[in-house]
Amino acid sequence: MSSRLQAEHLYKVFGRRPDEAVDRLRQGADREELRADGTTAAVIDASFTVEPGQTFVVMGLSGSGKSTLLRMLNGLLDPTAGQVLFDGQDLTALSARELREVRSRKISMVFQHFALFPHRSVLENAAYGLEVQGVPRAERELRATDALAMCGLAGWEKSWPDELSGGMQQRVGLARALATDAGLLLMDESFSALDPLIRRDMQDQLIELQKKLKKTIVFITHDLNEAMRLGDRIAVMRDGSIVQIGTAEDILVRPANDYVASFTRDVDRSRVLTADAVMDKDLRGDEADCGCETATPDTSFVDLCAISARVPHAVAVLDGKRRLVGVVPRQRLIGFLGDQQGEPTPCDAPRDKAVKAVKSDA
Ligand SMILES: Nc1ncnc2c1ncn2[C@@H]1O[C@H](COP(=O)(O)OP(=O)(O)O)[C@@H](O)[C@H]1O
Ligand SMILES: [Mg+2]
């Protein structure tokens, strides 16, 4: 059902002589140098793969090239150079008719301001994508009803869009995208216009839905917290280029450069990090089990703090076979809660205590 998506060395240049501009970019020119000639390098050499069922987030400031990148992924914009492979099929090589077919059946989009048709009911709005595909009325109404229910809008089918709040209208947009069964969902700042609480609610809903649906999702946002909540992997864009691709943890703990690091300062680390990122792994491989409370590598940072408060020494982290894979001294927790990156300063005393406690109980 879900699709694999690959971008290979994608470029998009707006303005005169775009091919020449791509050559200059390949030789190392940047966006600013091209701008002097009135040419905009919107996307520069973007490559990535989104595996089936993954949520891939593209994060960057306004103007960094996110929407342009997304429009190349669904074939709305022709790349100046590079390829988009959709389940191995080169989108850039399809005829206009084939491309329309792929777009209407296999890809659905949710925008920031979802334009609902004011004179159609919520149900008809949710069924619109299916109508375009030529699905008969009875079937499309059934599928749209299901999709609305998934998005928490059961009972609103007969309402008119203007009877719904902004958050609910956005849910109709999501339902429309889900009703079509498309394996690839492209979301451009879909939650950015919503109030913070509703936005969070929509993020939770998407996470829940995704557990069941396992679609391939490309989600665009300028908000790193949103990126980290939703993304299995995150690409950070700057001035048209992808400057880092990684998990939330990679970006938080191992930022590729100062630019990425500057974004992570406002991130609530306790919501992203797990024991695996925080623990001291020097003890890997020791067989041990202590009698007191322990953690696993995927224990959340918040739970780890709670355990640490109850345990008189560093917390032992055990894998599925109850083997010691690391320890977390309390000091280390505090270090990571600040903006500590990479290896924290060693703190042997508490670690030795943990080892002793772990070993004596083994
Ligand atoms: N059709 C276009 N013609 C010329 N320049 C464009 C066009 N679309 C986007 N751009 C420029 O490309 C850059 C990237 O834009 P965009 O992809 O919309 O960024 P984002 O979605 O990250 O805000 C911006 O400098 C923008 O002005
Ligand atoms: Mg945009």
Mean pLDDT of 85-110: 89
Residue 54 lies in a domain: yes
* 220 and 85 assigned to the same domain: yes
Residues 240 and 313 in one domain: no
Question: Is residue 54 predicted with pLDDT exceeding 70?
Answer: yes
Ligand 1 near 66 CB (within 6 A): yes
Q: Is 233 in the pocket of ligand 1 (CB under 6 A)?
A: no
Confidence of residue 292 (pLDDT cuts 50, 70, 90): confident
Instruction: Express each pLDDT in 131-153 by its tens digit.
Output: 988 999 999 999 999 999 988 89
CATH of residue 295? 3.90.1280.20
Nearest atom, ligand 1, residue 60 CA: 22
Ligand 1 site, residue 14, Cβ cutoff 6 A: yes
At 215-225, the pLDDT tens digits run 999 999 999 99
**Residue 362 in tokens:** 């083994």
Q: State the burial class of residue 139 (Cβ atoms within 10 Å of its Cβ: 0-12, 13-18, 19+).
A: exposed
Same domain, 53 and 199: yes
The Å distance, Cα 61 to ligand 2 centre, comes to: 9
Whether residue 213 is predicted with pLDDT greater than 80 in this model: the reply is yes
Question: Is residue 174 a part of any domain in this protein?
Answer: no
Same domain, 202 and 351: no
- Ligand 1, atom nearest to 61 Cα: 22
Of 106-115, 197-206, 268-277, 334-343, the poorest mean pLDDT is in 334-343
The residue among 251, 267, 283 that closes a domain is 267
CB 221 near ligand 1, within 6 Å: no
Would the CB of 129 count as within 6 Å of ligand 1?
no
Residue 341 belongs to a domain: yes
Does one domain contain both 196 and 279?
no
What's the chain's average pLDDT?
Answer: 88
pLDDT at 362 (0 to 100): 38
Same domain, 14 and 100: yes
Nearest CA among 205, 196, 136, 138 for reference residue 177 = 205
Residue 27 beta carbon below 6 angstroms from any ligand 1 atom:
no
Count the alpha carbons within 13 Å of 167 in the hemisphere toward its beta carbon.
Answer: 14
- Residue whose entry in the numeric block shows the structure tokens 């005169």: 16
C-alpha atoms less than 13 angstroms from C-alpha of 85 in its C-beta half-sphere = 13
* Least confident window among 12-21, 295-304, 339-348: 339-348
Instruction: Kindly report the CATH number assigned to the domain that includes residue 21.
Output: 3.40.50.300
Q: How far apart are CA 86 and CA 98, in angstroms?
A: 13
Atom of ligand 1 nearest to the CA of 220: 21
Of 244, 267, 290, at which residue does a domain stop? 267
- Answer whether residue 60 is part of any domain: yes
Nearest protein CA to atom 1 of ligand 1, as residue: 14
Ligand 1 in reach of 80 Cβ (< 6 A): no
Where does the pLDDT of residue 271 fall: very low under 50, low under 70, confident under 90, or very high at 90 and above? confident
20 inside domain: yes
> Could you report the per-residue pLDDT of 24-46, keeping only the tens digit for each?
999 999 999 999 888 999 999 99
* Higher-pLDDT residue of 13, 277: 13
Do 76 and 206 fall within a single domain?
yes
One domain for residues 198 and 323: no
Same domain, 100 and 247: yes
Ligand 1 pocket test: pick from 39, 58, 68 the residue with the most ligand atoms within 8 Å of its Cβ.
68
Whether 173 maps to a domain, the answer reads no
Instruction: Look at residue 286 and tell me if it is in a domain.
Output: yes
| Boundary residue ending a domain (267, 290, 305) | 267
* Residue 20, pLDDT above cutoff 50: yes
- Rounding to the nearest 10 degrees, give the CA dihedral for residues 46, 47, 52, 53: -50
How far apart (Å, rounded) are the C-alpha atoms in residues 348 and 94?
61
pLDDT of residue 348: 46
For ligand 1, atom 5, name the residue with the nearest CA. Answer: 14
Segment of 91-100, 101-110, 135-144 carrying the highest mean pLDDT:
135-144
Query: Lowest-pLDDT range, 82-96, 101-115, 131-145, 238-252?
Result: 101-115
Cβ of 62 less than 6 Å from ligand 1: yes
Ligand nearest to the CA of 69: 1
- Size of the chain, expressed as the number of residues it contains: 362
185 ligand 1 Cβ < 6 A: no
Using a pLDDT cut of 70, give the percent of the chain over it: 91
Instruction: Tell me if 65 CB under 6 Å of ligand 1.
Output: yes
- Whether residue 323 contacts residue 288, with contact meaning beta carbons closer than 8 Å, is answered with yes
Residues 346 and 261 in one domain: no
278 and 259 in a common domain: no
Neighbour-count burial of 266, counting CB atoms closer than 10 A to its CB (0-12 exposed, 13-18 middle, 19+ buried): exposed
CA 222 from chain centre, in angstroms, equals: 11
**Domain contains 133:** no
pLDDT for position 353: 54
pLDDT for position 103: 86
Same domain for 244 and 277, yes or no, is: no
Tally the domains of the chain.
Answer: 2
Instruction: Give how far the C-alpha of residue 110 lies from the chain's centroid of Cα atoms, to the nearest Å.
Output: 15
Q: Among residues 66, 68, 64, 85, which one has the least CA distance to residue 76? A: 68
pLDDT at 361 over 50: no
Cα(187) to centroid(ligand 2), Å: 10
Convert the pLDDT of each residue in 177-200 to its tens digit: 989 889 999 999 998 888 888 889
Domain with 282, as residue range(s), is 271-361
